[in-house]
Homo-oligomer: A and B are copies of this chain.
């Protein structure tokens, strides 16, 4: 009985993780589909991927900048 519950607890955790992993695989398929669509519209897929990467870098830098500004603002007692 208690053994059964222990097994269930582990099994449930494993199955939840497996479910999420499956969903992730589905998203990867979707991303792939977007790229195929882009390709069919005449776009160059590697270059699109490069552009997405660049945009992510720009966002990260922006966030970094914002965080830094917030830090300084707090230290200087600026309101938001």
Residues of chain A whose beta carbon lies under 8 Å from any beta carbon of chain B? 6-7, 9-11, 13-14, 16-18, 20-21, 23-24, 27-28, 30-31, 34-35, 37-38, 41, 43-44, 47-48, 50-52, 54-56, 58, 64-66, 68-69, 72-73, 75-76, 78-79
Listed residue (A10, A11, A69) with the most chain B CB atoms within 10 angstroms of its CB = A10
Given contacts A43-B10, A75-B11, contact A34 B17 (CB under 8 A): yes
Across-interface contacts of A69 in B (CB, < 8 A)? 47, 50-51
Given contacts A10-B76, A69-B51, A75-B6, contact A17 B43 (CB under 8 A): no
Q: Which of B48, B50, B65 contacts A13 (CB 8 A)?
A: B48
